[in-house]
Amino acid sequence: MTLFAQLAVACTLLLVPGCSFAFADEPVFSGPQPGEKLPQFTFRQVLAGPAGELLDPVSTADGHPLVLIFIHDVNRQSISFARVLAGYTASRRADGVRTAVVLLDDDASAAEDRVRRISHALAPDVPTGVSVDGREGPGSLGLNRNVTLTVLIAHQNAVTASFALVQPSLQADLPKVLQAVVETAGGEMPKLEELAGMPMRGRMQQQPDAVPDLRQLLTPLIRREASVEEVERAAKV
């Protein structure tokens, strides 16, 4: 435990007046950090591969750029984030990028059933499965079970970027992760609104050529009591 954390605990236990230490101010880490070696590990496949078969994504990547997405907590934010990110990295497979999604849970059977139930909400054709090491994940990786998502990006079996996301945000966090993927694998930074799986509301707001509200435009044309001026204005839109 760091000195900052020790002080925060002491303040809490002793009820020191005016003590305002906060754990939220500490940086959050999960998994190997940039420059460290990415250890090999296995997980049990459920989707996009032989069901039940063990896969070692690090060995399978064979030194290619690799994006690992560990889902610690299944919720709308984590699944949406994983779907969009994995969808993008899977589209870069021709560029050598490899991807794997791993769900962490102490009940492996229940986790496998959950993956099957939400398969429609996950990126297709991406190896997806369940950790064989429970909720903590592979011990060699040192994952933080208190985060929602851990994203590791590696090349030549060395980590180039590591993200520990407590509240994954497509708008705030995804661009940072995508930038790290591009820096590792090359290519151009993709536009968020063009990524498959992005919420339609955000995509429509960012697309100037989005289809207009036809009901609103046509109402003046079809109302029996519409004046000539209203019809002409609607026709000019």
Sheet of 66-71: strand order equals 54-55, 43-47, 128-131, 98-103, 66-71, 149-155, 158-165
pLDDT beyond 50 at 75? yes
pLDDT band at 49 (very low <50, low <70, confident <90, very high): confident
**Mean pLDDT to the nearest integer, 164-178:** 97
pLDDT beyond 70 at 205? no
Query: Which pLDDT score is estimated for 26?
Result: 79
Query: Which pLDDT score is estimated for 11?
Result: 43
Stretch among 23-27, 53-57, 85-89, 199-203 having the lowest mean pLDDT: 199-203
Element (H, E) at 199: none
CB neighbour list of residue 158: distance below 8 Å, 6 or more residues apart = 35, 36, 37, 38
pLDDT beyond 90 at 228? no
Dihedral pair phi/psi, residue 161, rounded to 5°: -155, 145
Query: Which pLDDT score is estimated for 164?
Result: 98
CA trace torsion 181, 183, 184, 189 (10° rounding) = 40
pLDDT beyond 70 at 77? yes
**Mean pLDDT to the nearest integer, 98-112:** 97
- Mean pLDDT for all residues in the chain: 84
Global pTM? Answer: 0.76
pLDDT digits (tens, 9 = 90+) for 176-186: 999 999 999 99
Query: Which pLDDT score is estimated for 220?
Result: 52
Coil, strand or helix at 34: coil
pLDDT beyond 90 at 63? yes
Compare 216 and 135 and report the one with higher pLDDT: 135
Query: Which pLDDT score is estimated for 106?
Result: 95
Contact 128, 45 (CB under 8 A): yes
